[in-house]
Amino acid sequence: MGVVSAVRRRPLLLLAPLALAAAFALAGCGNDSGGDGAAAAAAAPVTGVTRVAAKVSKFTPPAVQVPAGTTLTWAFEDGLVPHDVTGDGWRSGDPQRKGTFAHTFDRPGTYPYRCTVHDGMTGRVVVSGA
Ligand SMILES: [Cu+2]
- Position 36 scores a pLDDT of 54
Reported pTM: 0.70
Residue-wise pLDDT for 15-65, tens only, equals 444 444 444 444 433 334 444 555 665 779 999 999 999 999 999 999 999
Start-to-end C-alpha separation, the chain = 61
Q: How far apart are CA 110 and CA 103, in angstroms?
A: 14
Cα 89 to ligand 1 centroid, rounded to whole Å:
18
Q: How far apart are CA 30 and CA 16, in angstroms?
A: 24
Cα 62 to ligand 1 centroid, rounded to whole Å:
13
Residue-wise pLDDT for 82-108, tens only, equals 999 999 999 999 999 999 999 999 999
Cα 64 to ligand 1 centroid, rounded to whole Å:
18
Cα 52 to ligand 1 centroid, rounded to whole Å:
13
- Position 83 scores a pLDDT of 98
Q: Nearest-CA neighbor of 85 among 68, 66, 60?
A: 60
Cα 41 to ligand 1 centroid, rounded to whole Å:
16
